[in-house]
Amino acid sequence: MAVTATTPPPSTVLAAPRTPRRSGRRRGDIAIALFFLAPFLAVYGLFVVWPVLQAGRMSFYDWDLLGYTREFTGFDNYRRMLWGTSMTWDLSHLAGLRAVVLAATAALVVRSVRRRARPLSTVGTGAAGLLAAALLGVHPGPGGGWNDPGFWTSVRHTAEFTAISTPILIGLGLAMALALRGQHRGTAFYRAAFFLPYVLPVSAVTLIWSFLLNPDRGLVAGGLQRLGIEPIAWLSDPQLAMWGIIATTVWWSVGLNLVLFLAGLQDIDPSLYEAASLDGAGAWHRFRHVTVPGLRHVTVLVAVTQLIASFQIFGQVYIMTRGGPGDATRVVIQHIYEAGFRNLQLGYAAAISLVFFLLMALVSAIQFRLTAREA
């Protein structure tokens, strides 16, 4: 007689209970991970999280650096920084910049829709762009002014420096890496020579470039005189001083981007270039379809770190021009420094620092989100 085996229906098959050994192992792994992370978390909390929280607390006080004056003032420091007298809203104010913001917002929304991103993310992007465009229309009316015009001057100069220097540093670093990749004669020397300025302190860098740009005895002035051109007072001309700061910064820090891009180029499989060449791809198409996709992760790293570094410009400006001539090169970090240590207004300096920190975090997060999607 044949015996047939029957299996119980799926509904009657019970899942095996989680064994205590597996949960105990997971708890042990978590404990080991926390043990190794504890020193870093302690240092991070002491030197990063706690100062940020302390700055947030100080921003609500009239906090004197040398005295014991710690009077609670609420949002007065923020009102002094972000507001003014006779404030109004005008559709034509900063119309060009607002048009750029709206165009960028529309492009991001369209791309999010095409990529079928989360609706909440798409709506948030559109709302943030519209809010930014609307806030750009707020300004002092006739007879009015900002409570702290120096703050807005420093913000404009910092934004100009970042917008000009960041693309130059990224593009020049990539071009130099493409020129120096491979093992050719002299490449090791040029790599070291271009990276060497990055290890110099800011005091040495500014001393070198202050001498180079000196209109009386600088090397640049001497070269221009040989060409029949009158020496240019780079650091004394309000129209040229920021360009002198940008040139100094590019010479100083482009070496790091060169090394990062070189490391990224070494990770690209050479067989991809060989396959592209066999398919008839020229140099431009190989760069566009092989090199650029292979460097996306490195480009994200370089772009984010360079943007943050450009926002934090201070040493070159303070040593070479002191923010001058006039206020032509005054930047946000210098404004914070002078508010806290020259005017002894730590509460106001903390408020500016906190707003500037949030602005950098927001811009970096947006840039990282946009570039990371491509990577």
The pTM (predicted TM-score) of the whole model is: 0.84
Task: Report whether 87 contacts 66 (CB < 8 A).
Answer: no
Which ranges of the chain does DSSP label H, i.e. alpha helix? 20-44, 50-58, 76-82, 95-114, 119-135, 149-180, 187-195, 202-212, 219-226, 241-266, 270-278, 283-286, 292-294, 296-311, 315-320, 332-337, 346-374
Q: Is residue 67 part of a domain?
A: no
Per-residue pLDDT of the chain in tens (375 residues, 90 and over written 9): 445 555 555 544 455 555 556 666 777 788 888 889 999 999 999 998 998 899 999 999 988 877 777 889 999 999 999 999 888 998 888 888 888 888 888 888 887 788 787 888 788 888 888 888 888 888 898 888 999 999 999 999 999 999 999 999 999 999 999 999 877 888 889 999 999 999 999 999 999 999 999 888 888 888 888 888 888 888 999 999 999 999 999 999 999 999 999 999 998 988 988 898 888 888 899 889 899 989 988 998 898 899 889 999 999 999 999 998 988 999 999 999 999 999 888 999 999 999 998 888 887 777 766 665 555
Return the bridge partners of 220, or none: none
Examine the domain organization and report whether 246 and 139 are in the same domain.
no
Examine the domain organization and report whether 225 and 257 are in the same domain.
yes
Note down the domain range covering 209: 148-374
290: CATH:
1.10.3720.10
Q: Is residue 65 part of a domain?
A: no
Q: Is residue 278 part of a domain?
A: yes
Q: Is residue 1 part of a domain?
A: no
Given 125, 146, 167, which residue is the final one in a domain?
146
Examine the domain organization and report whether 328 and 232 are in the same domain.
yes
Q: Is residue 62 part of a domain?
A: no
Examine the domain organization and report whether 163 and 132 are in the same domain.
no
Give which of 182, 94, 67, 89 is closest to 144, Cα–Cα. Answer: 89
Examine the domain organization and report whether 132 and 232 are in the same domain.
no
Q: How many domains does the chain contain in total?
A: 2
Examine the domain organization and report whether 152 and 276 are in the same domain.
yes
Task: Give the other-Cβ count within 10 Å of 270's Cβ.
Answer: 9
Examine the domain organization and report whether 164 and 202 are in the same domain.
yes
Q: Is residue 8 part of a domain?
A: no
The Cα–Cα gap between 301 and 173 comes to: 13
